[in-house]
Structure 1
Amino acid sequence: MTKIKVISNPYKQEIKYETYKENTQEWDDMTSFRVQTEVSASPTFFGWVFGFNGKVQILAPESVKEQYRQMIAQADEGMQQKENKEQEI
């Protein structure tokens, strides 16, 4: 388990705020909130973050942010390779 920090805007995207309420620091403007909690930094977690289409961001630690970047880069590279093979046919 890794302690992470994420930020979200609950008014633009539904998110299970109640799940994280104990660990949440609300912003004064009530348009966003931050969560610090422990998660397993796994493909499942990264898929969950990705599913919010940029409305949830990993703030810390840097190592988890880097893992997420690498996963996205590998997925993009795989798509590009597939497209190149399809164009060759």
Structure 2
Amino acid sequence: MLFGMLRKGGMYLSAKYAEKQNRELNEFLKRAEKNFKKRNEIKEVKFKVGFNEWRIDNFELVKQLLLSADPMVQLPEGCLMDEYPKFLG
């Protein structure tokens, strides 16, 4: 069987070796997914820190954004986060 595969140009891959490769690949994929999640968490934290700094530095603008045309209606804080990227330039 082995020589037949080699003559046809195919590769022989033992079940034991294939299992080892699959196990290593699965471990690699798990590490990659974990790193991806960490990067996203870091991005989110950086965004929130930048947002809070921007909010402190631009107090008057923030106050204007929160107060709509009707002084009795105030926008929720979450709307500020939506507006923040527009001011980053």
Q: Same fold (TM over 0.5)?
A: no
- Structure 2 length as normaliser, TM-score? 0.32
Larger C-alpha radius of gyration, 1 or 2? Answer: 2
Larger strand proportion of the pair: 1
- Structure 1 length as normaliser, TM-score? 0.32
Larger helix proportion of the pair: 2
Structure with more relative contact order (C-alpha pairs < 8 Å, separation 6 or more): 1
